[in-house]
A = this chain, B = another copy of it.
């Protein structure tokens, strides 16, 4: 690890937002040297954070003990789990008011609950060079300038596996920077929901008041995985519509199979614009988190997610190593003629090349993780 990276790591572990931001930029880089730096950095901060937490036995004073019943509860499961923040996925159709809602809930938590809040907006449709990073900071203006909050857009255009892993890496960095709550917002439609489901503890579905056909705009699949449903914009002339929408969701829930026996998804009304009933929403999130934790669901879910990310990283590393293998590259050129003649199928060529590849990989350049070095 370079001295610069080490400095960055120390910054993250102190909860410095600028260091966190720079580390995410490092993770986003497609440059090989940056990637290696980012991986070393991530390994180091994740390991260091858990070591420090274990040493102190508890989270540092001021960090979510007295004021935050919900988050402190998280930690009470065992010393092991207090390392990890509460991760809430937030999904909803366009126009539900997700940004305003996250700003309202985020400010409530930083101001009233003295919690440190990170917001990650996952947008599979936007590209890194696009305007979404600036756009998101503008959308959540108050939260972005709050010293107890961190807002970042993750433009995830690129390889499928890479997209998901990258989101998880950003969550891990927020964890290392001692954030108490991480909101993972699904900006795009479609594939981002899967990523969010694999990266969060629970899913909050935010919906706007609807017209005649009550559940319009919300895909059935999303509703089935929602743990907390919030009807936003329950203010002004939309109040009655919001109440009807809430009733319709409550009704729909009766006919739906539960994800987990111990928890019945709830429906709450709020107005993010008027910052009204935000405390009710937070109470629902805490109830859900509490049930998930006590019933063992959270432990099970996190175990499955950990496994998912290991497999995801594994495939990612394998494919990358193969792509970088000079033996395979040379082999493909060598086989050009046979392939052209039609005497060799691409799969047979691949099988032959893999034998060489495995030979080459017997002494991998990087297989020692900080975990191994320290035990």
Contact = CB atoms under 8 A, between A and B. Distances in A.
A189 to B, nearest CB: 15
A192 interface: no
Given A354-B364, A372-B352, A315 B310 contact: no
B332 A310 contact: yes
A364 B358 contact: yes
Contacts of A86: none
A336 B304 CA distance: 9
Residue among A341, A347, A355, A361 with the most chain B CB within 10 A? A347
B50 A341 contact: yes
A80 B343 CA distance: 9
A42 interface: yes
Given A319-B318, A362-B358, A362-B362, A370 B342 contact: no
A328 interface: yes
Interface string A38-50: 0100110011011
Contacts of A328: 314
A276 B336 CA distance: 42
A52 to B, nearest CB: 11
A345 B306 CA distance: 9
A6 to B, nearest CB: 17
A358 B341 CA distance: 32
Interface residues of A, number: 69
A80 B362 contact: no
Interface string A117-159: 0000000000000000000000000000000000000000000
18 contacts: A43-B345, A46-B343, A50-B341, A50-B342, A80-B340, A80-B342, A84-B342, A306-B339, A310-B346, A312-B346, A313-B346, A313-B349, A314-B353, A318-B318, A349-B369, A354-B367, A355-B364, A358-B364
B340 A303 contact: yes
A228 interface: no
Contacts of A80: 340-342
A306 B336 contact: yes
Contacts of A355: 364, 367
Contacts of A175: 342
A336 B299 CA distance: 11
Given A313-B349, A349-B369, 20 more contacts: A50-B343, A80-B342, A81-B340, A169-B347, A299-B340, A306-B336, A306-B339, A306-B340, A310-B332, A310-B335, A310-B339, A311-B350, A314-B322, A314-B350, A314-B354, A318-B318, A348-B370, A351-B364, A351-B366, A358-B358
A255 interface: no
Contacts of A310: 332, 335, 339, 346, 349-350, 353
A184 interface: no
Interface string A312-328: 11111111001100001
A355 B362 CA distance: 8
A340 B302 CA distance: 7
Interface in A209-254: none
Contacts of A47: 343-345
A309 interface: yes
A318 B341 CA distance: 26
A172 interface: yes
